[in-house]
With several copies, the nearest count.
Chain A
């Protein structure tokens, strides 16, 4: 499927991600030992045949620039097109946009600011997606069904994700056509939008135009909702693992779900591989005295201590006598001798000095800021 482009919204305003979102935007939060949140939707798009993916950035994107680079690790480094970073701040009063009001919010604002990119990328279909939604989904069948169904838009949804507020919820009729859209709270029987929409590029341009003309601030609860009577939105459910990064607690629980073999098989399905930045670490070394159980461990770790129910990112060192339980240690973390960690999220480059003890709880995992020594 060469005739599809992706548009990935990689900004987000989740203040509830706390310290994890200080050095980065939510889409750039490390997840699952090897990845950043947006690697999942980006890989889904690439696997569906997208050779053009525009990534819409806003704030705190420096870490994403480093991570994505030229897009080569996703095979999106192209002479023309490929991975294109779309900074809304790059907004220029070019002729195309002249006279449009770009001061609206969120997705609508991002779409308006990138009108010329959408206009100039001459693919027939567009997939919209959000970087903070983590799932492994083969989108090709969705595109095929979209074409066959004759719907204006195909939306991918799931059972409501629970913890979230501000989700976009939809009611559907027996033919899976969306009949209502609301936000904040779901009613029984409603589905939650995963922010994945498949539609023709010209249809997207029409929707943006409608939003501009009618001065609407929101894409889903504004433009789509208003047009529901005439717009055929086909809703299709995804049944696999989904995580939507919104709170630290949710991040922690979703991460721990990866210790379940079925979740891993679904999220790391080798038929739909998830790509990430290649870092060239060596394999992980287990020392004589290491004792690791029920844990997910990335490359480049050096483990001499005890690790249980935990996730170790690349290059983590666990010194002899250390005990790490129910914790997440991000890239290049150094956990000193005779330490005890339980329910801890250690951001990148954290050093825990010898003989320290740090304990959080399931409901309140303690975050150690990026680069800190404790």
Chain B
């Protein structure tokens, strides 16, 4: 019934993503919409199937329902396999007791039986909040070639940025001899991307030991990796070249969406040999009316544009009324901007309505992104200031 797999991927879908504020009130971070058609989790899932990895465990304990119904049977990502496929793994009860995941390592520890079913050689640990396209098979081949116990994917960042990341200090042949979390004076610029390949036998041993250690916070970065390093296991850095962005904050999420519009950003999703898959909405083509305009923008299916859209990303079914202006903004599925409204430097979540002649955000304070939560209504003529986060309806009379 269950076949042996060379590599099983475990995707840490993580917690609430509180730095995305109102965007994750009812949505787990990996399910946050991105780039006109996608949700963040589409990227690691698509990378998996494109890399030939067809067994993926998604570790989550926050709002698994939505993730569960989004992922469904996995067909959208071709992960509806008879053996393997994609499985949502919330914490579960064993015998008389159960416990929540206490850390990233504990989440994997609690799912050892899931992994053991497939008797894999390697386990690939991924996280659910990064936008990137990566062929994991190359990393696994590198891991095998180097005969490593653990391979950590790293990206070269600027020296200024380096102190914000976990930095890998390596010898000339890529072997990691030191790991520094957010070093004040970084010795290298190789930042961990939070993507690990482990020999499964080895990892299981460390997970079990870590679990037995009451002092441990059961985290990969804080406990497993340092312990393995200290024990002299062979840990190597695999340098990734290409676009990679953590979209865990409002600013970085907005930035990454804008990167969709910049040919030089390196974020090229339109590659027929490396499709990013997503759940389909069965919408018709979008329509631009005689008065409508769209430039330097991405527009998805089902939109109806009668106003002016510039430098923006419009998800499925967005409506922009006559005379309305949408500039440098991200409008998620089903957002409606009524006649004469202006939206600038904003992220508006799903199905929210902006009334006539309302003003959302402004271009006067660049970098201050305005955010409207999902399913709310902003009344006619209302002004929402740059940088505000709106979680509830605002009536037109206010």
| Known A2-B52, A282-B269: A289·B295 in contact at CB below 8 Å | yes
- Indicate if the CB atoms of A298 and B36 lie closer than 8 Å: no
Chain A interface, number of residues (Cβ within 8 angstroms):
46
Q: How large is the interface on B (under 10, 10 to 19, 20 to 34, 35 or more residues)?
A: 35 or more
Closest to B36 in A: A283
CB–CB A286/B297 < 8 A: yes
- The answer to the question of A345 belonging to the interface, with a C-beta cut-off of 8 Å to chain B, is no
How long is the Cα–Cα vector from A254 to B137 in the complex, in angstroms? Answer: 43
Question: Which of B37, B282, B286, B309 is in CB contact (< 8 Å) with A297?
Answer: B286
Residue of A nearest to B317 (CB): A270
B294 contacts A296, C-beta separation under 8 Å: no
Residue of A nearest to B298 (CB): A283
Q: Which chain A residues border B288 with CB–CB below 8 Å?
A: 292-295, 297
CA distance A273 to B293 in the complex (A): 27
B290 contact set on A, CB distance < 8 A: 293-294
A124 at the interface (CB under 8 A from B): no
Taken together as a complex, chains A and B put the C-alpha atoms of A290 and B270 apart, in Å, by 19
Which of B75-83, B117-125, B152-160 lines the interface with chain A?
B75-83
Task: Please report the C-alpha to C-alpha distance between residue A268 and residue B137 in the assembled complex, in whole angstroms.
Answer: 32
Q: Which residues of the other chain, B, contact A264 by a CB distance below 8 angstroms?
A: 284, 287
Contact code string B304-315 (vs A, CB < 8 Å = 1, else 0): 100001000111
- Chain B residues positioned under 8 Å from A273 (CB to CB): 282
- Looking at A78, A281, A286, the one whose CB has the most chain B CB atoms below 10 A away is A286
Query: Do the beta carbons of A275 and B278 come within 8 Å of each other?
Result: no
Could you say which of A32, A75, A280, A291 contacts B284, with CB atoms under 8 Å apart? A32
**B81 and A75: CB pair below 8 A?**
yes
B299 touches A75 (CB 8 A): no
> Cβ of B90 < 8 Å from any Cβ of A?
no
Q: Which of A255-294 contact B (CB under 8 A)?
A: 259, 261, 264, 267-268, 273-276, 278, 280-294
User: Known contacts A33-B284, A275-B282, A280-B275: does B295 contact A299 (CB below 8 Å)?
Assistant: no
Docked-complex contact A292 and B278, CB < 8 angstroms: no
Question: Cβ of B292 and Cβ of A296 under 8 Å apart?
Answer: no
B300 at the interface (CB under 8 A from A): yes
Contact B287 A75 (CB under 8 A): no
Shortest CB-to-CB span from B255 to chain A, Å, is 18
Give the docked Cα–Cα distance between A274 and B301 (Å).
Answer: 13
Is A34 at the interface (CB under 8 A from chain B)? Answer: yes
- Chain A residues, Cβ within 8 Å of B43: none
**Those of B272-296 within 8 Å (CB) of chain A:** 275-278, 280, 282-296
Asked if B35 CB lies within 8 Å of chain A CBs, one says yes
Confirm or deny: A15 has a beta carbon within 8 angstroms of a beta carbon on chain B: no
- How far in angstroms is the closest Cβ of chain A from B18? 28
Cβ of A119 within 8 Å of any chain B Cβ, yes or no, is: no
A78 and B85 CA atoms in complex are apart in Å by: 12
Q: Residue of A at shortest CB range from B1?
A: A273
CB distance from B23 to the nearest CB of A (A): 19
Closest-CB distance, B72 to chain A (whole angstroms): 11
The closest CB in chain B to the CB of A276 belongs to B282
Q: Which of B261, B285, B309 is packed against the most chain A CB atoms within 10 Å?
A: B285
- Please tell me which one of the listed residues A51, A75, A276, A293 contacts residue B289 in the complex, with CB atoms under 8 A apart: A293
Return the contact of B296 from the options A33, A286, A296, A302 (Cβ within 8 A): A286
User: In this assembly, does A79 line the interface, its C-beta being within 8 Å of a C-beta of chain B?
Assistant: yes
Query: Would B37 and A292 count as touching, CB distance under 8 A?
Result: no
From residue B252, how far is it (CB to closest CB) to chain A in Å? 20
Chain B nearest CB from A315 CB (Å) reads: 9
- 0 or 1 for each of B236-279: is its CB under 8 Å from A? (1 = yes): 00000000000000000000000001000000011000011110
Return the contact of A72 from the options B37, B82, B261, B293 (Cβ within 8 A): B82
Q: Are B78 and A78 in contact (CB under 8 A)?
A: yes
Within 8 A of B (CB), among A26-50: 32-34
Q: What is the CA–CA distance of A267 and B283 in the complex, to the nearest angstrom?
A: 11
Which B residues touch A268, using CB under 8 A?
A: 283-284
A302 to B36, CA, bound (A): 14
> Chain A contacts of B280 at CB under 8 A?
73, 278
| Chain A residues, Cβ within 8 Å of B277 | 79, 280
What's the Cα separation between A292 and B288 when bound, in Å? 7
For residue A195, CB closer than 8 A to chain B, the reply is: no
What is the chain A residue whose CB lies nearest that of B286? A297
Chain B residues in contact with chain A, CB under 8 A? 35-37, 52, 75-76, 78, 80-83, 137, 261, 269-270, 275-278, 280, 282-301, 304, 309, 313-315
Told that A73-B82, A78-B78, A283-B37 touch, could you supply 16 new A-B pairs with CB distance under 8 A?
Answer: A32-B285, A33-B285, A80-B78, A268-B283, A275-B282, A276-B282, A281-B270, A283-B35, A286-B297, A286-B309, A291-B293, A291-B295, A297-B288, A298-B286, A302-B270, A312-B285
A-B contacts, 18 of them at CB < 8 A, read A2-B137, A34-B285, A77-B80, A79-B75, A278-B280, A281-B270, A282-B276, A282-B298, A283-B37, A283-B301, A283-B315, A285-B270, A292-B288, A295-B287, A298-B286, A298-B301, A299-B37, A299-B300
